[in-house]
Amino acid sequence: MGLGMDGNKLFDSKTGVDFEKMNKGKNAPGKEIWLTVKAHLATILNTADYDRWIDGLRLVAEFNGEMVIAARDPLSFDRVYGAHRHAIQRIWREHDPAGRAIKLVCWRTAPAELLDIVEDPWAKAEIAEAAPEQAKPAGSGSGAPVMSFETLVTGEANELAVQMAKRIAGGLPVGTLTTLFYGLQGTGKTHILHALKTAAEQRGEDCHIVYLTAEEFLSSYTDGVKVKDTSALKKRLRAATILMIDDLHRISGKPGTETELFQNIREVTANGGHVVLAGDKAPGDVTGFSPRMISELKGATTVEVGAPDAGMRHQIMRHLADHIEAGHPNFAVTDEMIAEFNAGIRGQAREMTGAIWNLYTEAAFGIRTPTMEMVHKIIRRTEGDVRQPSIELVKKAAMKVFEVSKADMESPSKARAVVYPRQIAMYLCRELTGKSFPQIGYSFGKRDHTTILYAHRKVSKALPENNELGAHIKAVNETILELQAAGMN
């Protein structure tokens, strides 16, 4: 029996199959592909968007070469169709060798015939939640790990922020009742907020946590304004013992929304609650906010979440690779492969996890053993042509490694503590930037090109037999990559 939706035939009893049946025939990779698509989306969307709109989607049937994905309700359908449909289709095309198309439908408004033939795709999940003893062990399989303090890689870049989050979650004093975590996108601020939320909920003690992205806050506020009643939003937020707003910078330039947020921050803290904000800039650098909001941010306890260094990036990839390998024994990623990703891909934690998920896909969803050839393919696809660093970036990296100032780097000082890092910087400028000796010399205090030529020859001659020099050059090179990953050049 066939049935139609908006004139398009979506399903019939001869070819339509439910989730379980679909993965027994020649299209067995369907479920694995969908899991991979979701995992990929988790690396490019913020956690709140993924949790709210993507995680609840279900792959329910295949018909006439189309894979039917269902959203549970009209709100979810409208949001996914408008904001994420193209990304889902694009990622599916990249991973489906059969070239099947994606069809998105709303389950709640689907034809009765479809509802009769295909079981409620959410029913099994609800049954599983009611029977946790049969659930899969946490942290295993190919799904993204739960965002908790246990799965968070901690290092110098985020150590203070993690300590602060743990204190808030534990109900310990932290100074002010408003805390701002700030840092570049992809550094793990959202992971810290979700870990805080999870830990605080486990504490119990009538702790009521409300987590919203700025976009969700804006949407809720706009919906209230349309009906001239924002009381529901106020009631929800002001009942919080811990109120968390992620991606704060997305509210900048929206005075009405900012005013609503400001008032709720004041109400929560006045009642003894804690407000936790996350944004991309320190209070002194934010723009688009009113003076009173900036004052509120400057009065908060402010903690930077820095860009992960090479060691943290390695750990992030190692942890995710081990997590996937727990469910796919053939997915054995060597430290050499991770080191290659570390050196070849710029970015923060998000880009690093994306590299591992792409490797999982290249390895036929964990069925094949990864190879270095796959790694190089992903690096080329991700990074394209290698980006040359600027002279200033090379100097900045050398200054950071050797702890010398820019004034020292460009000064006429003959002290070895200054000359040695300066000559390494000159050597690397010639090797990496593509600039001429005169151009490099001008950047080092308007030195003559012969000075740069001398430094380059001296380092080149000593390098093959001087292990310490080689280690220092490697350290500066790694720092250059870290600075580029942080958006500098």
Q: Give the percent of the chain with pLDDT over 90.
A: 49
Read off the pLDDT of each residue in 238-244 and give the average, rounded to a whole number. 94
Region 288-300 average pLDDT: 96
pLDDT at 26 (0 to 100)? 39
What pLDDT, on a 0 to 100 scale, did the predictor assign at position 29? 59
Q: How many Cβ atoms are within 10 Å of 313's Cβ, its own excluded?
A: 29
Helix residue spans in 328-466 (DSSP H): 335-344, 349-362, 372-383, 391-402, 406-410, 416-432, 437-443, 449-462
pLDDT at 6: 35
Which residues are bridge partners to 105 per DSSP?
A: 70
> What's the pLDDT score for residue 428?
95
Higher-pLDDT residue of 337, 4: 337
Give 42-62 pLDDT, tens digit per residue: 878 877 778 788 988 988 877
Give tens-digit pLDDT for 369-380. Answer: 999 999 999 988
Residue 31 pLDDT: 78
Give the percent of the chain with pLDDT over 70: 86
Answer with the residue of higher pLDDT: 78 or 1: 78
Class of domain 2-134: alpha beta
pLDDT in tens, 74-132: 778 888 888 888 889 888 888 888 888 888 888 877 766 556 566 777 764 443 333 33
* Residues 188/152, Cβ–Cβ less than 8 Å: yes
Give CA torsion, residues 113, 117, 119, 121, to 10 deg.
Answer: -70
Residues contacting residue 4 through CB under 8 Å, at least 6 positions apart: 10, 111
CA 220 to the chain's CA centroid:
24
- State how far Cα 420 lies from the chain centre: 38
Architecture of domain 159-304: 3-Layer(aba) Sandwich (3.40)
Phi, psi of 249 (to 5 degrees): -60, -20
CB 47 within 8 A of CB 3: no
Query: Edge-to-edge strand order for the sheet containing 301-304?
Result: 209-213, 242-246, 274-279, 178-182, 301-304
pLDDT of res. 100 = 86
Q: What is the pLDDT of residue 388?
A: 82
pLDDT on residue 93: 86
In this structure, are strands 58-63 and 66-71 parallel, antiparallel, or unpaired?
A: antiparallel
Instruction: Find out if CATH 1.10.1750.10 is the number for domain 391-485.
Output: yes
Res 425 pLDDT > 50: yes
Distance of CA 13 to the CA centre of its chain: 41
Whether residue 296 is predicted with pLDDT greater than 50 in this model: the reply is yes
| Confidence at residue 143, expressed as pLDDT on a 0 to 100 scale | 59
Q: How confident is the model at residue 16 (pLDDT cuts 50, 70, 90)?
A: very low
Query: What letter represents residue 474's amino acid?
Result: K
Of the two residues 165 and 384, the one the predictor is more confident about is 165
